[in-house]
Chains A and B, each alone.
Chain A
Amino acid sequence: MSKLSFRARALDASKPMPVFHTEDLPDLPEYTAINRAVPQMPTGMEKEEESERHLQRAMSAQQVYGAVENLVIPTPPAQVGVGYYEDLYEGQFKPQKQFVHVQALNMEQDYPEYDMDSDDERWMNTHNKRSSAMTLEPQQFEEMMDRLEKGSGQQPVTLQEAKLLLKEDDDLIKAVYDYWLKKRNKSPHPLIAQVRTEKRDGSTTNNPYVAFRRRTEKMQTRKNRKNDEASYEKMLKLRRDLNRAVTLLEMVKRREKSKRELLHLTIEIVEKRYQSDDFSGQLLAEVMAQRHQRPSYTPSPVPNGSLYAAMQGNRPDWANRINGEQVQVVRKKREYKKRKHKTASAAHVKEEHGRAHPTTPTYSDMDLHKYDFPSSEEDVSPAQSAEEDTDNDPDGSFAFRRKKGCNYYQARVDTPGNWPWEAKEEGGLGDPRYRYSCTTLSMPRRCVGFVRRRVGRGGRVILDRVFTPFDNALEDLDLSNSSSLPNGLPPSWLTDIRNKKWRHFRPRSPPSEDDSSPSQAPPSFSDHLSSLITFPASPPEEISAEQFHDHQQELVKVNLGMQKQQLAAQQDEAVSTILNQSFSSQPTSRFTVDSASAQFAVSAVVSNTENLDTSLKLREGPESAHNGVLEATGSGTNKVTLHLPPCSSITTELPPLPDPPCPRQPPSPNHHPRHGHYENGQSPGHPDTDHRRGSHTKSFLVIGQNGRP
């Protein structure tokens, strides 16, 4: 344009231009020099393509003749002539006078996407010849292949799953399934040709065969952006709620079906008894006895039962148990046992008929995924199930998979945290015991200096260490051996520590010194727990966060109470059996402790105060409970497992500086001197109690603190 500016004014699009005939302006050529200066507009083509010969030729032709005429750009051939066109596109189509209008709903195709090929046709024909009874129609075959293909991810569906997918005769399913599997295994590609889709791991960014990637979810900056997001969230919520309703109804359906089955069976039993004159119930009792001798085919029927109960929304029972006094708990327990008995008898009869267990439905993985268990804040989408096609999932093998039995909670943003050492107003306990204190481990038995304790994810006990100038000296400190004075440590310090001027946490000293009574549990104990305890899994019931919190607290109380009760009620043998089991089944190698730091964490886990007998026994066992970690194995599924992080369990922080002697806060008057150590551990729990929380409740970790009566 610059060139133009000093020769002619810029072209003004709003300025009228007179239209002349060239013939009327004989002097025009004199001005062409200026005209040439008018800059050429870009063609809009790629530069390197502009120079292509055929185009150049055509463009000059266009300029000269006003049309490309014969100088067309040659293109690869396209021919008419598909002889079988008439066969493929049979019949005629007469549109209406009105414009074609399609309903949005009609656009969904309702026919199988899979198209039979010649191989399929051959197979189908032979199949039809062989079994004339079950003639397979092409579309029926395609429907089956379609379902099998779409039901499979990277792994083909199993025959079992195929039977669920297809609603045909079993033999037919088997035949088609076998054929499909063979065909699929032969082909390196899915049997329905589909455009490759993106994977979110970025591996497909450059793959030219990947098309139609999703645009980033990021919404455009628009006025209504906020509204969009809000309504989007609402829709998600709505979907979740509706999903729950569906789940609920499905379960109601199951329950009612089971009830009906039960009724039928009861009638059947009565009829059978009537026929065999078993009015006294003797026959029934005999059969029952036989039934009980048989090994149970479910490893543990109780959790199933309790899961069943929980699933059926047996909340009153649950709530009662939670809120009830100990007596009530026991009563409930009896009721529960009674019912178990009933179901067992029903089950027994059912078994005689060679059918599946009707009243204790075992929820397979499939069911769990299908019934989309509600979780508190998450968007529950079926797509997140583990069944999801890993092939299509952009995250591939790293896709998030809902673990069954786990509830997922949104991160809390309202409070900065509830670490026990934090001030009360910040949700913590503000308790001096959670400050950095001198701490000794039981295994290896040594002082680790100043340490702050907290419970981490999965019940890991994390010791935050802090550097102090005394560290070197404290490391050598062994308080059990009074003769060894560590080097460099002023003797007065040791005295101070001994005299409890410094808080010192260490493993329990010889049992004889311990005379704290379980009944002296501090009133604030459960409060501590509520903030410390995490239930890795909670019953698959719908409860709000507050409710859940309350439940946790109540549960702890109830659990403690029940344990006491049970410990008292049960014979000593039983207890010791449990303990022995737990000890023997707990070799050190169970833990993947690959560094000393992990051992520190282990050493902090000791048994619960309330479980005093257990703890005592534990300590009596010669090194059986390693580092005080007790694993209770009440039954097969009631395993308490501690997950230890490989080596990161100890974090070292520099600030804040510890206030070791803590003179401003002298030990409380009834603070027992010998209880300066802390213990935490798991309550073995009664099998039943734990089962009621759901069979998948794997661990229940209690950090006991008997430092304060």
Chain B
Amino acid sequence: MAADWSKYFPYTNQTSCFIFYSSLSKMADDKENKKIGLKTTLDMVVEGCRLPVKMSILPNEEEEWPLAEILSRKEEKGKLEFYVHYIDFNKRLDEWVLPDRLRVEELQFPRKDQKTPQKQTSSAANSRPTTPDRELQEKKTTVDRSESDSPSPSLLSKKLSLPEQTSSPAAKLGGQGQTPQSQTKSNAGRKRKAIFLDEKQDLPPAYCNSLSSQDSQDAPATPQPSAPPQQPRQTGSMSSSHDENIITRIKNIETIELGKYRIKPWYFSPYPPELTTISIVFICEFCLKYVKSRKCLERHRTKCTLRHPPGNEIYRKSTISFFEIDGRKNKMYSQNLCLLAKLFLDHKTLYYDTDPFLFYVMTEYDIKGFHIVGFFSKEKESTEDYNVACILTLPPYQRKGYGKLLIEFSYELSKFEGKTGSPEKPLSDLGLLSYRSYWSQTILEILVNLKPENGERPQVTINEICELTSIRKEDVISTLQHLNLINYYKGQYIITLSQESIDTHNRAMAKRKIRIDAKCLHWTPKDWAKRGKW
């Protein structure tokens, strides 16, 4: 398997034209001085360095030492710890590790003017063999990451967000004002530039460390050295491009306790900074209020009478219910929900208030109440026909089919509205898998059950599929392509079903025991446009 993955490791290749890491292994070879050497080396392991780190997440698999980037280091009670991001693994696996998990001998320094190639896309990386070295040398002064990537012109078009990303820091460093073009782009562009702090590269490691270390309480409150004020667009719920702010790249909450579950967060979430210094944040499972201690939660529970999300129940079948919450009318709950969701959604943005969103919370009932399982948010008015903004199944309920249930419900709402819809982009890895799976099963369900008409071969149009499912046309096509069902045959497009795919489908459907029952949905769509303001 390691061999297969090597193609994702352009950086390990010392001859690679655009990544220049020098290995420290020679220094470490000196076995007589190993102890001194190790100590020296640990001091050298600073932000931006790369080295193999032993991954802890996969206990049942063989020991893995993927290349990882050092994002931060901290010293607590004399113990040195490093925050590592495993290259080509999702950020949710990033973690604090002790020095014994670092393979320091293979430490790679970031080239002085070379930024961590965080921005690299696989396609770009693979198809960029010959960017001349000297071009990079010429670009020494450029600090921005994407710019130092210096893609060939043909690739530029693919990197939609590039102009925006380059604008602010480059302009700042070059002493030029922001160009009007970059301004308009950041406003009009579909992709929104996340505000980031590129100072990381210019600052001594200690500074980065203090910014990110968990025991530095004041760090978050300190106003960021001013990048030109840029605000994200005001619609949608996703921040698409990577937030380069080092603070948001590091998980800030250690553990949460929600109901009877203890959950390790996946990403940064802007809970009050004072909660980032404690080991567990306690969250009331019904109103989602966060408190610092079990005692506080105990006290809260004596006052909080909620046993279900504070909205109207619009669906109930068996133990599954859905509650609709208006982000404007119930701000407190909506904000608490968003904070919780952010712990598990990388690209969710909490920049703006929750007013333009509705939240559909899925619960499972037991004798204690309606327990939150997952939710999705939805813009009251979506200019891009999104029917889902953010969607999340809480980790304890994942891989049990709830995600598909949430998706199914979101399309059920769209059917009630008589529209097609699509989830807001970017999708997460888990989101993509869930949606693909849902789309595949839903479309296959239609195709498999098509009956021949008047002895003719059954026919179907893409539009018909859209109407039946409320899945947006592009998603239908992409699914058909993904499943290899669409073929150009003798001058026309046809759909082909193999017996294998039918069998697979039937097996998968047999596993989907819980389905959304439209009869149990009591809901009338509202025309929010007519209401003026949400």
Contacts and interface: CB of A to CB of B under 8 A. Distances in A.
Do A and B come together as binding partners?
Answer: yes
B57 interface: yes
Interface in B399-434: 399, 423, 425-430, 432-433
A44 B432 contact: yes
Contact of A85 (B5, B259, B355): B259
B504 A227 contact: no
Given A78-B395, A118-B295, A25 B489 contact: yes
A7 B491 CA distance: 9
A205 B245 CA distance: 12
A224 B351 contact: no
A646 B399 CA distance: 72
Q: State the majority secondary structure of interface residues on A.
A: loop
A46 B347 contact: yes
Contacts of A213: 351-353
Given A17-B461, A142-B299, A74 B396 contact: no
Interface stretch (B12-20, B23-31, B272-280): B272-280
A201 to B, nearest CB: 9
Nearest to A46: B426
A208 B247 contact: yes
Given A18-B457, A215-B352, A206 B227 contact: yes
Contacts of A77: 263-264
Contact of B313 (A7, A101, A208): A101
Contacts of B124: 47
Contacts of B398: 75
Contacts of A85: 259-260
B22 interface: no
Nearest to B245: A208
Interface stretch (A58-66, A172-180, A247-255, A261-269): A58-66
A203 interface: yes
Contacts of B40: none
Nearest to A32: B487
A107 B329 contact: yes
Given A34-B488, A41-B481, A89 B427 contact: no
B224 interface: yes
B458 A99 contact: no
Contact of B497 (A20, A44, A55): A20
B380 to A, nearest CB: 12
Contacts, number: 378
B136 interface: no
Contact-residue size bin, chain B (C-beta under 8 Å from the other chain) = 35 or more
Contacts of B331: 212
A141 B477 CA distance: 62
Interface centre among B234, B248, B261, B272 (most CB of A within 10 A): B272
Contacts of A28: 487, 489, 496
A299 B338 CA distance: 56
B369 A88 contact: no
A18 B292 contact: no
Contacts of B96: none
Interface in A1-50: 7-9, 11-23, 25, 28, 31-32, 34-35, 38, 40-50
Interface string B249-293: 000000001011111111010111111000000000100001111
Given A17-B493, A46-B242, A68-B433, A116 B295 contact: yes
B73 interface: no
A216 B235 CA distance: 12
A45 B427 contact: yes
Nearest to B91: A49
B214 to A, nearest CB: 13
A682 B401 CA distance: 84
Interface stretch (B46-54, B170-178, B200-208, B303-311): B303-311
Interface string B331-352: 1100100110000000100111
Interface stretch (B103-111, B115-123, B181-189): B115-123
A117 B331 CA distance: 25
Nearest to A68: B433
B36 interface: no
A227 B462 contact: no
B375 interface: no
Contacts of B321: 99-100
A305 B242 CA distance: 66
Given A28-B487, A45-B427, A48-B122, A59 B433 contact: yes
A39 B142 CA distance: 36
B330 interface: yes
Contact of A11 (B308, B428, B459, B477): B477
B433 to A, nearest CB: 6
A78 B261 contact: yes
A115 interface: yes
A515 interface: no
Contacts of B192: none
Contact of A43 (B118, B291, B432, B496): B432
B497 A99 contact: no
A93 B353 CA distance: 32
A16 B308 CA distance: 47
Given A20-B494, A66-B501, A92-B368, A48 B242 contact: yes
A53 interface: yes
A222 B532 contact: yes
B378 interface: no
Contact of B459 (A17, A21, A42): A17
B314 interface: yes
Interface in A76-95: 76-82, 84-85, 87-90, 92-95
Interface stretch (A186-194, A483-491, A655-663): A186-194
B221 interface: yes
Contact of B433 (A48, A55, A99): A55
B437 A31 contact: no
A222 B429 contact: no
Interface centre among B303, B398, B399 (most CB of A within 10 A): B303
B353 A121 contact: no
B429 A49 contact: yes
A343 interface: no
B132 to A, nearest CB: 24
26 contacts: A15-B493, A19-B450, A19-B457, A22-B498, A41-B475, A52-B88, A52-B429, A54-B90, A66-B440, A74-B57, A75-B266, A88-B297, A89-B369, A93-B368, A99-B312, A99-B522, A100-B308, A101-B313, A102-B310, A117-B295, A138-B299, A142-B299, A188-B217, A195-B271, A208-B243, A216-B234
Given A118-B293, A189-B274, A205-B231, 9 more contacts: A7-B488, A8-B493, A17-B492, A17-B494, A54-B90, A78-B263, A85-B259, A195-B270, A209-B272
